[in-house]
Amino acid sequence: MREITYLEAIREAMTQEMERDESVFLIGEDIGTYGGAFQVTHGMYEQFGPERILDTPITELGLTGAATGAALIGMRPIAEIMFMDFTTLASEQLVNQAAKLRFMFGGKASVPMVLRTPAGSGTGAAEHHSQSLENWFVHVPGLKVVMPTTPYDAKGLLLASIRDNNPVVFVEHKLLYKTKGEVPEEDYTIPLGQADVKRSGTDLTIVATSIMVSRSLEAAEELAKEGINVEVVDPRSLRPLDTGTIVESVKKTGKVLIVHEAVKTGGFGGELAGVIAESEAFGYLEAPIVRLAGREIPIPYNRTLEQNAVPQVANIVEKARDIVQLKV
């Protein structure tokens, strides 16, 4: 099978869906002739024109409101927020309108829109362009939140998100854009709420999201050299969450490490820990549930400080080793 980048997989999903469904259009800042801040929409303006690739002024609130209104009348907009940090500006429309309208109208209205946004650190973009705010939106009933790790998942999950009749926040880590993987050319979808076991193991379950899945897989290879067999589970979508796959993995290994880039306080790791603690997996635990997350600081500009602000492979290896060796 051919290999393409994560970025190309996202572009291909949008292109194929726009070719298939005339109700799909893109709206965002610099997504037209410029091709997007990370060149994800490069070439799409030339193919679909200004009526379906809508360049907006710098107004995250306005473009999200326009997408919400368009979705209400039967369109399927894909709104791009240039950096996840600026979803803070879009939150009134996303949280107070898009997420609630279906409930407010008793199910007679729907808001089939996708809000795509690059997140995370690692590019030297500093405090205002490097945050991981996914759990803000997980907290909101009515929103779905998706975080693909591989190019294959990115295409399949984005196609499923565009066809969903609910607003979806689709989080793309900036460091994943250039990663490559096998992706079919044909149309396919991955159901939202279906986790994936990226690596099977018996000694420890690592539940990780986004870029931390990649780092956890690398850490698992290092640990395998020491005879430690790690299972890596990628939820892929945070809401809805596939609790069954996670619970079964923890029951099998008896130990669990949760890894994400966002700061620990209020992060998705707390939700995962709660899910595990309240499930039948709790009785199988041979060690406490452990979370490894970003430090409680804004992301620094300095490259060394930036790397030390979020978990790296070495941190995952060290924490996993401690858990496996723990005797209770």
Structure tokens at 17: 């869906």
- Tell me what the pLDDT averaged over the chain comes to: 97
Confidence of residue 326 (pLDDT cuts 50, 70, 90): confident
pLDDT of res. 327: 56
Residue 260 has pLDDT above 80, yes or no: yes
- Count of CA atoms in the C-beta half-sphere (13 A) of 236: 24
pLDDT tens digits for range 92-136: 999 999 999 999 999 999 999 999 999 999 999 999 999 999 999
pLDDT tens digits for range 180-230: 999 999 999 999 999 999 999 999 999 999 999 999 999 999 999 999 999
Across 147-156, average pLDDT: 98
pLDDT of res. 227: 96
Q: Give the integer Cα–Cα distance in Å for 276 and 218.
A: 24
pLDDT of res. 47: 97
Across 245-256, average pLDDT: 98
CATH number of the domain within which 285 lies: 3.40.50.920
Residues 143 and 236 in one domain: no
Catalytic choice (129, 139, 173, 260): 129
Across 263-267, average pLDDT: 97
In contact, 112 and 69? CB cutoff 8 Å: no
* Antiparallel, parallel or unpaired: β 180-182 and 3-5: antiparallel
| Lowest-pLDDT range of 26-35, 173-182, 319-328 | 319-328
* Antiparallel, parallel or unpaired: β 196-199 and 230-234: antiparallel
Structure tokens at 164: 């969903």
Residues 43 and 176 in one domain: yes
Q: Give the integer Cα–Cα distance in Å for 211 and 175.
A: 7
- In the residue annotation, 128 being an active-site residue is answered as no
- Looking at 182, 207, 242, the residue that finishes a domain is 182
Domain of 206 in residue numbering reads as: 196-323
Predicted TM-score (pTM) of the model is 0.96
E-strand stretches of the chain: 3-5, 24-28, 53-55, 76-80, 114-119, 144-146, 168-173, 180-182, 196-199, 204-208, 230-234, 237-239, 256-263, 290-294
Residues 237 and 318 in one domain: yes
Residues 109 and 164 in one domain: yes
